């Protein structure tokens, strides 16, 4: 068991394993996202109040969930890197930061687009919106701090610390709709309760959420692979890989 | 740091803390502008708001908690950039890291004294500014009380950022990008506290929350700051 886990910490092992899994993961992601978006955007019934404008929910909710999950994952990876000094954990964390920032931005953007027809305003200083904006700035801070250091190791550790410190903001974002009763509606989904929406509406949302998590895994895996190649460029196995023809790579 | 020849510390912890305090105090006395400037900044920023918004006291009273808290936050931020920088450039921090005394101790003494001359003074003059902005005496009292734990948390979170960016040539702007998102919870609770008093709501729970944040900051931040300083030294 420990041996198996330790193998995962090796960039070479990760590179070879993920290379084998990636096509399957990518195919599954595409399939889930395609099913979810067609189901949600075309087939699902329009809302009785918001009509077709609520369909953006099928993009908005997954991106919002992802932006928070990715932050948590990034902080966990940073903790693993700072405690056990596993290089791969930092590569994962460094790749997650821009992805999370993109998701936070998309959640804000789709929220604004959704806000115009339903609330009549695209922005308001509501607790959830403001805390989401803060999350975006947290991501930008992590990215900026990593980039500011000349030495990669110092940048990696500094970014790890600030990612961990930023964790304190996560519960505030999560519970902002519960603690402050403002414009943003409460979460429409939870594991413990039966959803208030009919099944024809929440099932496609579930598919979209699963699909975007798959998308996250696929994309982070792909970007980590290139990060591995970039950082380990001097290693013998990477040089070998670069010289070998493409077909050998899959067989490795 | 525990090198073999330093198995026995030269001084006890208490002694070295006293020496560190003496040093920091002397530095503060000789560089008064260090802690007077943020204070003056705090007052000037608050004085700008009535000019920019309106001189109407009834309107200002609504915004006063937010204005004072944001000004305090900016004043703390302003003072942070030089918190460790001079010591870093002089090589003092390197000596701290190498010395047998724990780095956490030197860091704690420095940040605590910094907070006393910065956050506590802000809290002390905030009643005057609160009254000038039309707050009632009760609100002013709560405002000053909330600024004490609030600025404590701000100082320690900021010390983490200052320690992280100490070796960067232009850390100042980056520091504000890093710190302001982390300051948001304190700002929300602090300014909300005064608003709760104005509405006649029970404000003790929020005060207790700020106190809890203060205790958490004291328990965790010194070690994080020490780690951050060490990482700026070791990866030169």
DSSP assignment of B8-65, as one string? S-SS-HHHHHHHHHHHHHHHHHH-HHHHHHHHHHHHHHHHHHHHHS-S-HHHHHHHHH
DSSP H or E segment with residue B144: helix B137-164
Asked if A223 and A166 touch (Cβ cutoff 8 Å), the reply is no
pLDDT reported for residue A184: 67
Residue A12 counted as domain residue: no
The partner residue sitting opposite B235, judged by closest CB among A131, A151, A169, is: A151
ipTM beyond cut 0.90: no
Alpha carbons B224 and B236: distance in angstroms, whole number: 19
pLDDT reported for residue B2: 47
Q: What is the pLDDT along chain A (252 residues), one digit of tens a residue?
A: 677 777 777 888 888 888 888 999 999 999 999 999 888 888 877 766 666 777 888 889 999 999 999 999 999 999 999 998 888 999 999 999 999 999 999 999 998 888 888 888 888 777 778 888 989 999 999 999 999 988 888 899 999 999 999 988 888 777 766 666 555 665 655 555 556 677 777 888 899 999 999 999 999 999 999 999 998 888 888 888 888 766 555 544
Specify the range with the lowest mean pLDDT, choosing from A182-186, A204-208, B80-84, B198-202: A182-186
Contacts of B231 in chain A (CB under 8 A): 154, 157-158, 161
pTM for this entry: 0.85
Q: Is A51 helix (H, G, I), strand (E, B) or coil?
A: strand
Name the residue of chain B whose CA is nearest to A132's CA: B181
Is B167 part of the contact surface with chain A (CB cutoff 8 Å)? yes
Residue A179 counted as domain residue: yes
Q: Do B181 and A151 touch (CB under 8 A)?
A: no
Shortest Cα distance, chain B CAs vs residue A1, angstroms: 32
Is A162 part of the contact surface with chain B (CB cutoff 8 Å)? yes
Alpha carbons A152 and A99: distance in angstroms, whole number: 20
Residue A242 counted as domain residue: no
pLDDT band, very low/low/confident/very high, at B72 (cuts 50, 70, 90): very high
Residue A18 counted as domain residue: no
Q: What is the mean pLDDT of residues B175-199?
A: 87
**Domains held by chain A: number:** 1
**Residue-level length of chain A:** 252
Greater pLDDT, B81 or B70: B70
| Mutation to test the B interface, candidates A82, A104, A150, A157, most B Cβ within 10 Å | A157
Residue A2 counted as domain residue: no
Q: Do B178 and A157 touch (CB under 8 A)?
A: no
Residue A7 counted as domain residue: no
Contacts of A165 in chain B (CB under 8 A): 157, 160, 182, 224
Residue A45 counted as domain residue: no
Q: What are phi and psi of A196, to 5 degrees?
A: -75, -15
Shortest Cα distance, chain A CAs vs residue B50, angstroms: 22
Contacts of B227 in chain A (CB under 8 A): 161
Domain that holds residue A154: 23-39+52-229
Q: Do A145 and B164 touch (CB under 8 A)?
A: yes
| Mutation to test the B interface, candidates A137, A161, A174, most B Cβ within 10 Å | A161
Is A100 part of the contact surface with chain B (CB cutoff 8 Å)? no
Contacts of B184 in chain A (CB under 8 A): 130-131, 134, 169, 172
- Rounded to 5 degrees, what angle do the CA atoms A103, A108, A110 make? 90
Contacts of B210 in chain A (CB under 8 A): none
Shortest Cα distance, chain B CAs vs residue A93, angstroms: 17
Residue A187 counted as domain residue: yes
Alpha carbons A163 and A138: distance in angstroms, whole number: 8
Contacts of B177 in chain A (CB under 8 A): 137, 140-141, 144
Q: Which residues of B110-124 are buried (b: 16+ CB within 10 A; e: fewer)?
A: bbbbbbebbbebbbe
pLDDT for residue B8 is more than 60: no
Alpha carbons B60 and B56: distance in angstroms, whole number: 6
pLDDT for residue B99 is more than 90: no
pLDDT reported for residue A237: 84
A-proximal residues of B, 208-227, CB under 8 Å = 224, 227
């Amino acid at each position: 068991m420990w041996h198996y886990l330790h193998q995962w910490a090796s960039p070479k092992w990760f590179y070879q394993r993920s290379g084998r899994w990636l096509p399957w993961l990518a195919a599954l992601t595409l399939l889930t996202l395609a099913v979810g978006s067609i189901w949600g955007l075309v087939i699902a019934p329009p809302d009785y109040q918001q009509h077709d404008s609520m369909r953006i929910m099928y993009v908005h909710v997954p991106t919002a969930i992802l932006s928070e999950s990715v932050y948590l994952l990034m902080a966990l990876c940073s903790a693993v890197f700072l405690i056990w000094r596993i290089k791969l954990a930092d590569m994962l964390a460094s790749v997650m930061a821009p992805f999370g920032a993109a998701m936070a931005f998309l959640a804000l953007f789709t929220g604004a687009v959704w806000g115009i027809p339903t609330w009549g305003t695209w922005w308001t200083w509501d607790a959830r919106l403001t805390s989401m904006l803060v999350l975006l700035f947290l991501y930008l801070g992590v990215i900026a701090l990593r980039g500011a250091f000349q030495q990669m190791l110092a940048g990696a550790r500094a970014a790890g610390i600030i990612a961990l410190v930023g964790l304190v903001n996560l519960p505030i974002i999560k519970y902002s709709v519960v603690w402050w009763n403002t414009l943003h509606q409460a979460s429409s989904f939870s594991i413990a309760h039966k959803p208030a929406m009919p099944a024809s509406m929440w099932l496609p949302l579930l598919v979209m959420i699963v699909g975007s998590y798959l998308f996250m895994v696929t994309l982070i895996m792909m970007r980590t692979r290139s990060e591995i190649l970039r950082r380990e460029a001097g290693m013998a196995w990477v040089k070998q890989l670069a010289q070998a023809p493409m077909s050998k790579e899959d067989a490795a | 740091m525990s090198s073999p020849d330093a198995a026995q510390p030269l001084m006890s912890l208490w002694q070295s803390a006293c020496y560190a305090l003496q040093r920091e105090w002397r530095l503060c006395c000789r560089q008064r502008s260090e802690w007077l400037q943020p204070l003056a900044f705090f007052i000037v920023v608050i004085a700008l708001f009535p000019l920019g918004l309106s001189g109407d006291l009834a309107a200002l009273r609504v915004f006063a908690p937010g204005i004072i808290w944001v000004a305090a936050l900016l004043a703390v931020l302003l003072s942070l950039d030089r918190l460790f920088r001079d010591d870093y450039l002089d090589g003092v921090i390197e000596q701290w890291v190498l010395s047998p005394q724990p780095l956490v101790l030197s860091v704690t003494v420095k940040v605590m004294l910094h907070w006393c001359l910065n956050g506590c003074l802000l809290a002390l003059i905030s009643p005057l500014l609160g009254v000038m902005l039309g707050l009632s005496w009760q609100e002013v009292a709560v405002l000053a009380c909330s600024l004490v734990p609030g600025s404590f948390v701000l100082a320690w979170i900021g010390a983490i950022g200052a320690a992280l960016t100490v070796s960067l040539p232009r850390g100042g702007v980056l520091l504000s990008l890093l710190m302001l998102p982390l300051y948001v919870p304190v700002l929300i609770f602090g300014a909300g506290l005064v608003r709760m008093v104005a509405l006649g709501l029970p404000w003790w729970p929020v005060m207790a929350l700020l106190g809890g944040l203060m205790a958490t900051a004291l328990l965790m931040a010194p070690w994080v700051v020490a780690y951050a300083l060490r990482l700026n030294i070791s990866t030169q």
